[in-house]
Chains A and B, each alone.
Chain A
Amino acid sequence: MSDRILFMLAEQDVFSKAWLRAPASTDVARDTDSMFMWLWWFCVVWFVFLMALMVYWVIKYRRRPGTVAPKSASHNTPLEVAWTIIPTLFLVYIFFRGFHGWIEKIVAPGDAIEMNLTGARWYWSIDYPNGAQSPASTRIGAKDIPVFYMPAERSVKLRMQSQDVMHAFYVPDFRIKQDLWPNRYSQMWFKAHAPDGTLKHPVVSNDAKDEVAKALSGVPYEDHWLFCAEYCGDEHSEMAGIIRVVPEDAFNRWLDAIKNGTGTPAEIGQAIWKLRCSSCHTVDGGKNTGPTWKNIWGHEAQMMTGKMIMVDENYVRESILNPQAQIVMGFQGQNMPSFAGVLNDKQITAVIEYIKTLSDMGTLGDPAHPAGMDAKVGTPGTETKPGEKPADKPQ
C-alpha cells in the first residue's frame, strides 16, 4: 500500500528530521508523528501538483497580443464531481485516523499511576501518590523551574486543575496538550519511553536533598520540556517545567527519598518530632525536659494551676503555639519556645496525629483508627484541617 510506503518514509526520512526536533518519546506520540508526516506528504503531493499546473499553464497560455483565447469549456461536470468526491474520501480517512490516535491519547490505561498536577500563575506543581512534592528544581535564567521525576515505561495519569486562570499542560516530546481550569478537573496521561540518552536538554537539577541525589546517582534520565500553552499573563513564557523520565525502580527510590517531610500526617508528625521535639519530649514514657507524649492523648493532665485539662487537639495546638499558657504540673520553669511561625497548620495537625498514635486513648484506643489510616486508602496528605474536628475522633 502506498500508505505503508508513506509511513515508512515518515519514520526515517530527512523531512521528518527537519520537522521534528526530536523523536517522540511515547508510543502514542509516535503515532501522531507518523500521522503528521503522512499529512505532510499528502499536502506536498497536492500542493506540488496544483502549483506545477498553475505555473505551467501561466507560462504556456501567456497572452499574445491581438489573439483571443479559444472557446473552452465553462464547466465539466464529471471532472468537478471527481474533484469533490476524491478529496472527501481522503478527508474521511484523515478524520478517522486522527480520531483513532487521539482516543489513545485521552483514555488512560487502567494501570496508570495517578498524580495531581496543579497549574497556577506561574508555576506547576505535582503531588505524587505518596503526597510528596518534587523538591527538585533547576535554574533557568531568573526562575527556578521545577523538575518532575516520572517513571519510564509506566503509564502516568495526571488529574489537573488550575488555581487561577486557564493554563494548558503541554509536553512537546509527548505530543500532548490539555487545558486546565480552575474549579474543574481535566485529565491527561502518558507513558514515556525509557531514557536512551538521545534527548537531553541543557538543564540540570539543583536537587537540594542529599538523599535524593543519592537515590538517583548514576541513573540515566531523559528530560522533556513542560510548557504552559494557554496564555496566562506576564510570565506565561516562563511557566515551564521539566519532566525527567527515569527508570521505574529509580523513580520509586526517589519517591521514598522525597517522602521525608511528607507522607501520612502521622508520619509527618513523627518526622517533625524527630527534628524539633525529640530533644525534650520522649515518646516511650521516659522522662525528659518536657512531658512524655506517651499516653497523654485523651487523658486528663494536671496543670500547674491545679486545673485538670483534657489533652485534645486544641490543647496540643495551644501548647505548640503558646507554650506558656498552660504548663503541666512538674514542668515549671521549662521555657518551651513558641513554634508559631515555625510549624504551619499542616505540620501542627500532623504532630497532633502523631501524638494520637502514641496513646491508648487516642486513635489506638479505637483500633479502627490506627496511625496513618490515610495510607491504607492510598491517600496520604489528606490531613485534617486545623480547627476542624478530626473525622476519626473516637467519641
Chain B
Amino acid sequence: MSSGHHSHGSYLESKGGFFANVLDWATTVDHKKIGVMYLFAILFMFFLGGVAALAVRIELLEPVRVKTTFTATGTEPVTQLLRADVAADIKNKDGTPAKDTLLTAGTRVQTHPAAKTVLGNELTSGTQVDVLDDAGKTVVQTATLKGSVSVTDPKTGAATASKITGQFFGSPDATAIAAGNNTYNRLFTLHGAIMVFMVIVPSVPASLGNFFLPLMLGAKDVAFPRLNLLSWYIYVTGSIFAVSSIVLGGVDTGWTFYTPYSTSTDADSIRVVFMILGAFILGFSSILTGLNFIVTVHKLRAPGMGWFDMPLFVWAVYSSGIIQVLATPVIGITLLLLVFERITHIGIFDPALGGDPVLYQHFFWFYSHPVVYVMILPGMGIITELIAVHSHKRIFGYRAIAFASLGIAGVSFIVWGHHMFTSMSEVASTIFSALTFLVAIPTAVKVFNWVGTLYKGSITINTPMLYALIFLFTFSIGGLTGLPLGTLSTDMHLHDTYFVVAHFHYVMMGGTIMAFIGGIHHWWPKMFGKMYNEKAAMLGAILVFIGFNVTFFTQFFLGVRGMPRRYASYVDEFQTLHIISTIGSFILLAGFLVHLSVFVASLVAGRKAPANPWGGLTFEWLADSPPEEHNFAHEPLCTHGPYDYDTTVPPHWDPKDYPIPAENLAAAGSH
C-alpha cells in the first residue's frame, strides 16, 4: 500500500502461487477486493437463508393441525358407517395390524362431526376422521399410515362392506407436533436473522458500495482501508457466531428477539446468546462500513466534484451510512442488555422482574426500523444509476432524489413505533402513525422521478434495466401496501399477519434484492472484466419476477383473510394459498439457479468486457474493466455531471456512435 510502487495490472491479477494469492486477498486493504469478498460472503449467506426459506415454505404446504386424516373412498355411504360409532381394526394392506401398540382393537373411529354437514353433499373424499382412544379423548396415532383400513362393526364383529382407503399422515400427538413446530420456529428464525443481519443490511453497501463508491468518487480507496478489511473480518466472525447457533441446535426466538420469550427460551443453552452476540458483532461491521463511507464522501471526492456532482448511488449510500452510524449502537446496547439479562437474570426487559417488554420493543425498533432504510436506500441508489445509464438520459429531479435520500434517512428515526401499534399506548400510536406517513412522501417522489426519467429517454432493455423495471413494479407494490399498515384501523387487523410478511418481502426482496441483483449484472463487467450471457440472464430475471410475485402476492390474501405469521400450522381454509405460495418459491429458486449458472459461465468463459459496455458517464466507467489496482491511471477530474447524457459522449465510446444533436449542446450552453 505504500505510495512508492504502483502496479498497473488489474486488481484481479494473480500475485504468484495459490497461497500467495490467498494471503494477498486475506490481507488486502484494496476496497475492490474487500467488496468482492463481501459479495461472495453475502451470496453464500443468501444461499443459506434461502434454503431455510424453502424449508419453511415446504413445511407450510399442508397444515399439521389435523393430525389424523384419511381420504375415504368407500362404496357405501360413509356417513352412516362412521356415525354408527363403530370400533375399527385398522390394518395395513397385508392384513397386519398397523402400529398395534398405538391403535389397539377397540379404537374408535369417529367422523369429524362438522363434516356431517358436508357428508350429505360430497363426502367422497377428504373427510377428516379423528382417531380416539377408548376414553374418547386422546389421539394415539403417531405414525404415518398408508394403505387400506378396514372398519368393523363392534356389535356383529363383522367387517363392514365398506373399505376406506386411508391415508394417515401428520405427526399426531401433541409432543410430536411441538417438536415439529420447534424445528419450524428455528428455521424461520434462521431465515430472518440471516437475511436481515447478514444479507440485506450489508448487501449493497458492503459489496457494491465498497467496490464502486471510491470509483464513482474518483478516489483511490475508501478513507480507512484497514478498517474496511477489519469490517469484513468482523462480518465473518459475527456470521460464524450466528450460524454456529444452528450447529448447537438452533434458535427459536424469531429475528426480533422479543422479550420475555427470548430471555426465557432454551434457558440452559448458550445458543441464543450466540445468535444475539452474532447480531451484536455484525453491528460493528455495519458501523465501520457506514463510517468509512461518510468520511470517504466528505474527504475523497475527485477535484471539481461538488456535492451535487456526485452520482445518486453515492448519495444513497451516504444517507444509509448516517443511519448505520446513528442507529446501530442502539441495537448494540439492546442486544448487550439481552445477553446480560439471559446470563445474570437482570430484569430490564422481563416483566416477571419488574422490567418492561415494550421498552425492549422500543430499543429494538429504534434500530431496526431505520435499518430498513439502510437496506432499501442503497437499492434505490442502484436503481437510479440503472435507469439513468440504460436510458441514456439525464436523471429527472437530481436534487429531489438526493434530498429524498437524506429525508428518508432523517424521517426513518421517528417512525419506528409503527411496528408496535398493538402494544403501544394510544397517544404514542397516534403520533407514530401520523409520522409514518411522512416516509411515504420522499419515497413517492423518488418513484415519480424514476418513471419521469424514462420519458424521452433512449432505453435499452437488458438485464439490469429489466431489474430496474421489476424493482419499480415490486417496490411500488411494497410501498403502497405499506399504507394499510401505517393506517391505524387497518393495521390493527393486518399487524403480525401474512400481509406484513408479504409487504416487507416486497420491499426487502422486491426492493433491495432485486436492485442488488440488477446492480450485480450492471457492474459485473466492471468487477470481473467479463460479459455475461444476456439472454440467459433475462430468462432468469423473468423467472425471478414471476416466482417472486406468485410467492408473495398470495400472501397478501392470506394476511387479509387472517393468517397470522410465524405459524407452523394453520386452519385448512388457507391451504390453497399456501400451496400457490410454495410453488412460487420454487419458481424463484429456478430463477436464482439460472442467474448462478450465468455468473459461473461468465467467469469461466465470458467474453472480455469493454471498459464501458453500457455507456455510463460516472467515473467507474472511466477505469479499466476490471480496474487496475489503484483504480485510475490518472486522478480523474470532474468536468461534467454524472448524468449529462445529452451533452457528453460517454468515456471509451466513439463519438460517431453517440452523435449528440447540436441543439442539445446549444441548450446546454444556455443552461
Asked whether the complex places CB atoms of A and B closer than 8 A, the reply is yes
Closest to B434 in A: A95
Contact of A102 among B130, B488, B658 (CB under 8 A): B488
Q: Would you call A98 and B441 a contact (CB within 8 A)?
A: no
Chain A proximity mask over B331-356: 1 for CB below 8 Å, otherwise 0? 00000000000000000000110000
Say yes or no: is A276 at the interface (Cβ < 8 Å to chain B): no
Chain B contacts for A244, CB-based, 8 A: none
Closest to B488 in A: A102
| Given known A-B contacts A88-B441, A179-B422, A182-B260, A61 and B456 have beta carbons under 8 A apart | yes
In the bound complex, what is the Cα–Cα distance between A62 and B458 (angstroms)? 5
In the bound complex, what is the Cα–Cα distance between A40 and B490 (angstroms)? 11
Say yes or no: is B44 at the interface (Cβ < 8 Å to chain A): no
Chain A proximity mask over B118-135: 1 for CB below 8 Å, otherwise 0? 100000000000100000
In the bound complex, what is the Cα–Cα distance between A364 and B113 (angstroms)? 51
In the bound complex, what is the Cα–Cα distance between A99 and B181 (angstroms)? 37
Chain A contacts for B457, CB-based, 8 A: 57, 61, 69
Say yes or no: is A351 at the interface (Cβ < 8 Å to chain B): no
Q: Would you call B489 and A105 a contact (CB within 8 A)?
A: yes
Question: 8 Å CB contacts to B: which residues of A230-262?
Answer: 230-238, 240
Question: 8 Å CB contacts to A: which residues of B477-498?
Answer: 477, 480-481, 483-484, 486-493, 495-497
Q: Would you call B458 and A61 a contact (CB within 8 A)?
A: yes
Chain A contacts for B25, CB-based, 8 A: none
Q: A67 CB to closest chain B CB, in angstroms? A: 7
In the bound complex, what is the Cα–Cα distance between A63 and B458 (angstroms)? 4
Q: Would you call B398 and A75 a contact (CB within 8 A)?
A: yes
Closest to A145 in B: B65
In the bound complex, what is the Cα–Cα distance between A24 and B351 (angstroms)? 35
Question: 8 Å CB contacts to B: which residues of A1-52?
Answer: 18-21, 28-29, 31-32, 35-36, 39-40, 42-43, 46-47, 50-51
In the bound complex, what is the Cα–Cα distance between A119 and B451 (angstroms)? 49
Closest to A18 in B: B557
| Given known A-B contacts A43-B481, A68-B458, A95-B437, A225 and B392 have beta carbons under 8 A apart | no
Q: A238 CB to closest chain B CB, in angstroms? A: 7
Chain B contacts for A80, CB-based, 8 A: 397, 400, 445, 448-449
Contact of B487 among A35, A66, A106, A172 (CB under 8 A): A35
Question: 8 Å CB contacts to B: which residues of A121-166?
Answer: 139-143, 164-166
| Given known A-B contacts A61-B391, A83-B444, A236-B567, A177 and B492 have beta carbons under 8 A apart | yes
Chain B contacts for A78, CB-based, 8 A: none
In the bound complex, what is the Cα–Cα distance between A388 and B666 (angstroms)? 96
Closest to B183 in A: A234
Q: Would you call B569 and A225 a contact (CB within 8 A)?
A: no
Chain A contacts for B433, CB-based, 8 A: 95, 98-99
Chain A contacts for B658, CB-based, 8 A: 68
Q: Would you call B447 and A105 a contact (CB within 8 A)?
A: no
| Given known A-B contacts A68-B392, A105-B489, A231-B254, A165 and B568 have beta carbons under 8 A apart | no
Say yes or no: is A287 at the interface (Cβ < 8 Å to chain B): no
Closest to A186 in B: B423
Q: Would you call B493 and A177 a contact (CB within 8 A)?
A: yes
Q: Would you call A175 and B564 a contact (CB within 8 A)?
A: no
Closest to B647 in A: A71
Q: Would you call A238 and B394 a contact (CB within 8 A)?
A: no
Stretch with Cβ within 8 A of A (4 or more), from B172-180, B525-533, B597-605: B172-180
Say yes or no: is B472 at the interface (Cβ < 8 Å to chain A): yes
Closest to A85 in B: B441
Say yes or no: is A189 at the interface (Cβ < 8 Å to chain B): no
Closest to B454 in A: A57
Chain A contacts for B564, CB-based, 8 A: 170, 227-229, 237
Chain B contacts for A306, CB-based, 8 A: none
Number of A-B contacts (CB under 8 A): 310
Say yes or no: is B249 at the interface (Cβ < 8 Å to chain A): no
Q: Would you call A54 and B392 a contact (CB within 8 A)?
A: no
Say yes or no: is A84 at the interface (Cβ < 8 Å to chain B): yes
Chain A contacts for B486, CB-based, 8 A: 94-95, 98
Q: Would you call B569 and A238 a contact (CB within 8 A)?
A: yes
Say yes or no: is A64 at the interface (Cβ < 8 Å to chain B): yes
Chain B contacts for A280, CB-based, 8 A: none
Q: Would you call A58 and B114 a contact (CB within 8 A)?
A: no
Q: A213 CB to closest chain B CB, in angstroms? A: 13
Chain B contacts for A175, CB-based, 8 A: 492-493
Chain B contacts for A177, CB-based, 8 A: 422, 492-493, 495-496
Say yes or no: is A395 at the interface (Cβ < 8 Å to chain B): no
Say yes or no: is A198 at the interface (Cβ < 8 Å to chain B): no
In the bound complex, what is the Cα–Cα distance between A164 and B264 (angstroms)? 9
Question: 8 Å CB contacts to A: which residues of B33-77?
Answer: 64-67
Q: Would you call A69 and B568 a contact (CB within 8 A)?
A: no
Say yes or no: is A219 at the interface (Cβ < 8 Å to chain B): no
Question: 8 Å CB contacts to B: which residues of A67-96?
Answer: 67-76, 79-80, 83-84, 87-88, 91-92, 94-95
Chain B contacts for A70, CB-based, 8 A: 456, 646, 661, 663-664
Contact of B114 among A43, A61, A179, A203 (CB under 8 A): A203
In the bound complex, what is the Cα–Cα distance between A50 and B481 (angstroms)? 15
Say yes or no: is B265 at the interface (Cβ < 8 Å to chain A): yes
Say yes or no: is A100 at the interface (Cβ < 8 Å to chain B): yes
Q: Would you call A91 and B437 a contact (CB within 8 A)?
A: yes
Say yes or no: is A202 at the interface (Cβ < 8 Å to chain B): yes
Chain B contacts for A182, CB-based, 8 A: 260, 351-352
Q: A183 CB to closest chain B CB, in angstroms? A: 4
In the bound complex, what is the Cα–Cα distance between A40 and B457 (angstroms)? 32
Chain A contacts for B409, CB-based, 8 A: none
Q: Would you call B660 and A68 a contact (CB within 8 A)?
A: yes
Q: Report which residue of B67, B447, B488 has the largest number of chain A beta carbons within 10 angstroms of its beta carbon.
A: B488
Say yes or no: is A53 at the interface (Cβ < 8 Å to chain B): yes
In the bound complex, what is the Cα–Cα distance between A46 and B481 (angstroms)? 12
In the bound complex, what is the Cα–Cα distance between A100 and B562 (angstroms)? 22
Say yes or no: is A173 at the interface (Cβ < 8 Å to chain B): yes
| Given known A-B contacts A184-B351, A203-B114, A238 and B65 have beta carbons under 8 A apart | yes
Chain A contacts for B542, CB-based, 8 A: none
Q: Would you call A225 and B571 a contact (CB within 8 A)?
A: yes
Closest to B116 in A: A204
Q: Would you call B393 and A98 a contact (CB within 8 A)?
A: no
Closest to A53 in B: B451
Chain B contacts for A94, CB-based, 8 A: 437, 483, 486-487
Say yes or no: is B227 at the interface (Cβ < 8 Å to chain A): no
Q: Would you call A69 and B456 a contact (CB within 8 A)?
A: yes
Q: B541 CB to closest chain A CB, in angstroms? A: 14
Q: A355 CB to closest chain B CB, in angstroms? A: 36
Q: Would you call B451 and A54 a contact (CB within 8 A)?
A: yes
Q: Would you call A54 and B469 a contact (CB within 8 A)?
A: yes
Chain A proximity mask over B496-517: 1 for CB below 8 Å, otherwise 0? 1100000000000000000000
Chain B contacts for A103, CB-based, 8 A: 426
Contact of B495 among A28, A97, A105, A229 (CB under 8 A): A229
Closest to A175 in B: B493
6 pairs, A vs B, C-beta closer than 8 Å: A43-B480, A68-B645, A69-B645, A99-B489, A142-B173, A168-B496
12 A-B pairs besides A98-B490, A229-B497 with CB distance below 8 A are A46-B480, A50-B448, A53-B451, A69-B393, A72-B393, A98-B488, A98-B491, A164-B260, A168-B496, A181-B358, A183-B351, A237-B567
By a beta-carbon cutoff of 8 Å, the part of chain A in contact with chain B is 18-21, 28-29, 31-32, 35-36, 39-40, 42-43, 46-47, 50-51, 53-54, 57-58, 61-64, 66-76, 79-80, 83-84, 87-88, 91-92, 94-95, 97-106, 139-143, 164-166, 168, 170, 172-173, 175-179, 181-184, 201-204, 225, 227-238, 240
List the 9 shortest-distance A-B pairs measured between CB atoms, nearest first: A172-B562, A101-B489, A98-B487, A102-B488, A237-B567, A175-B493, A43-B480, A21-B561, A183-B351
